[in-house]
Chains A and B, each alone.
Chain A
Amino acid sequence: MLRYRDAFTLPALLSAPAASPPPGGGDRSGSRQTPSPRPAEGVSASAIAPDSARASKAAPTPDASSSPLQGEGGHFSFLLVSALFVLVVAITATVAVAQQPAPAKASALEVLIRWAPLLLWGFGFNILISVMAMAIGTVAGVPVGIAQLSPVAPLRIVARIATQLFRNSPWLVLLFLCVFLIPFEIRIFDLRIPFPDWAKATMGFALPVMANTSEITRGAIQSVATGQWDSARALGLSRRKALYLVILPQCVKRMLPPWMNLYSLIAMSTVNASIVGVNEMITLTSQVHAAEGSRPELLAPLYAFALACFFIYCYPIGKWTQALERRYQLT
């Protein structure tokens, strides 16, 4: 019944028409037979589609100048934001100097340079967690997504409930759930498998990834024209073979942009692990702050540094995703 599914596929809705399920479509009936409107089927039909993705694609004569984000604004926005970071560090540094008459204390810039290796190490840990969560979530999510369209009713229902449950609950709550409820070690007879905090946090991030990947997979499968299923059937392929040999290979392209968006989001939310005490970048940032005497004027530059790291990491991913969307949209 949910029309507004998990918000984290918003970018997918916005920019990847193929991956968004047809409005009011097979979601309820649960059968793959629902005809899914293809983006290219006609401007007149898709220009008024409630799905903004398709609508924006079908906008008549979208010349480059009308979308500043993709046009000249693209590189400028990167430069502008970078300039802003520099400005913030500079301003807070001078404010610090103005308020601290004692020259013995290190300036914000000195502190940043001194601790940059440690902070970047923490940032690397963030990326490691995000990559692992993404890997686990994807490996688990794709089969769940396929199961959502299974002809076997119990399997389909369980897959749908699991997907909706984990997509619609806040990521932070799921993280808490995993960190507090997974035991710190699992004992199988004499074998002890320790479960450190960061591993539990990784599971906490993998859960929403699984649910979102499941939805992305389902949307992609449903967006493949039904004629593909029919012709596969006509060639004598079983449903399973049609899925693996014909449908899924076509889905990869459609899934890639929303999946990369999801990665970007999960990479950014790895900082939530600092709330539950995992030793990642933001935890280290507050430790660095404490080590420098907890001077409040250092907070702005330190957090600006963290923001800059994530910006530099996520901005190219976003641009790459946009480029892929544009490329696959033409086919």
Chain B
Amino acid sequence: MQPIYDWFREFYERTGINLTFIYDDFDRARIIKGFFLTLELSVVTVILSILVGIAGAWLQGSRLVWIRRIVAAFISFFRNTPPLVQIYFFYFGLGYLLPRIPDGSGAMIPMISNVQWAIISLSLFAGAFNIEIFRSGIEAIPKSTVEAATAFGFSRWQTYRLVVLPMAIRICLPALGNNLVNLVKTTNLAYAIAVPELLYVSKQIWSDSTNVREMMLFVLFAYLALVFALVALLNAIERRLAVPGFGQQGGH
């Protein structure tokens, strides 16, 4: 690897394009850590938001009107307020109200760290959208299918788990994919509460080395790569889940 680092150092001297995050050990360690934190944030929030969506969509089918109302209020709150302010509200507002706990060395630290708050608020934000998506998928399932499952003696939960959800997921995969792509793009809002993810470490690096332009473009392309990887993954999942004759159109 050393020749490559040397080449980029020389590249900087020749052209003035300063890619410190390649040749400088310290910056490289930072950027790799930041990238993996962004990856971790993305994976964890994607999984949690899907769980929130499934749970919420199930609760929305509840017979109790107040449960439905509370879910509807949850959705409209997270859909109609800025995610950044949600993060601030959770981290600064609610974080202050929670008790502090001692860490290993005896210092008092907040019960929920900034990374955890970012995960919680982003999952809830994307989860609110997922509820709507799953609901639209569930509503698209013919009532007769559900009735048939009931006729087989399936309980409500069994019908949901074995009949409704597998079909609904296939129907709403494109919309779900869109939302998850959006979620991955939104993870960088965690920057605002000093979560050292990709954008945050990039900012640290460009503050140190004043190579704003290079870092900016690198961050842009790193996120694009992440998004395109997710898109490829979602396309693969969609192909894998495809049931012949169901959820397909135009022979694609």
Contacts and interface: CB of A to CB of B under 8 A. Distances in A.
B228 A168 contact: yes
Contacts of B140: 47, 52, 55-56, 58-59
A48 B199 contact: no
Interface stretch (B8-16, B20-28, B148-156, B211-219): B211-219
A interface, size bucket:
35 or more
Contacts of B227: 168-169
3 closest cross-chain pairs (CB), A and B: A7-B182, A300-B93, A24-B252
B129 to A, nearest CB: 6
A294 B247 CA distance: 55
A169 B220 CA distance: 6
Interface in B169-217: 170-175, 177-183, 185-186, 188-189, 191-192, 199, 212-213, 216
B246 interface: yes
A180 interface: yes
Contact of A84 (B77, B180, B220): B77
A139 to B, nearest CB: 24
Interface centre among B65, B247, B249 (most CB of A within 10 A): B249
B139 A62 contact: yes
Interface residues of B, number: 80
A173 B219 contact: yes
A186 interface: no
B248 A76 contact: no
Interface in A48-85: 48-53, 55-56, 58-62, 66-69, 72-74, 76-78, 80-81, 84
Given A77-B75, A170-B186, A318-B79, A300 B94 contact: yes
Interface stretch (A192-200, A224-232, A245-253, A307-315): A307-315
Given A22-B250, A68-B68, A177-B220, A10 B136 contact: no
Given A48-B245, A275-B84, A311-B81, 6 more contacts: A2-B231, A50-B248, A68-B72, A78-B73, A81-B77, A170-B223
A13 interface: yes
A268 B82 contact: yes
Given A7-B183, A14-B133, A282 B228 contact: no
A269 interface: yes
B142 A168 contact: no
Contacts, number: 257
B161 interface: no
Contacts of B247: 48-50
A14 B81 contact: no
A163 interface: no
B82 to A, nearest CB: 4
Contacts of B88: 282, 299, 303
Contact of B199 (A53, A168, A173): A173
A296 B95 CA distance: 10
State the majority secondary structure of interface residues on A. Answer: helix
Contact of B180 (A7, A55, A76): A7
Contact of A92 (B75, B97, B175, B178): B97
B85 to A, nearest CB: 5
Contacts of A74: 72
A86 B93 CA distance: 14
A73 B64 CA distance: 12
B80 A311 contact: yes
Nearest to B182: A7
A271 interface: yes
Nearest to A66: B139
B242 to A, nearest CB: 9
Interface string A242-274: 000000000000000000000010001111101
Interface centre among A6, A69, A264, A314 (most CB of B within 10 A): A69
Contacts of A180: 212, 216
A169 B135 CA distance: 28
A174 B210 CA distance: 19
A268 B220 CA distance: 22
A92 B84 contact: no
Nearest to B189: A172
Contact of A23 (B180, B223, B249): B249
9 contacts: A24-B252, A48-B248, A56-B140, A80-B72, A95-B97, A173-B219, A181-B212, A300-B89, A314-B81
A315 B185 CA distance: 23
Interface in A154-176: 165, 168-174, 176
Contacts of A81: 73, 76-77
Given A14-B136, A176-B199, A296-B96, A264 B250 contact: no
Nearest to B66: A76
A300 B92 contact: yes
A4 interface: yes
A80 B69 contact: yes
B174 A77 contact: no
A303 B85 contact: yes
A165 B76 CA distance: 30
Contact of B223 (A25, A92, A173, A299): A173
A172 B199 contact: yes
A173 B238 CA distance: 29
B51 interface: no
A3 B231 contact: yes
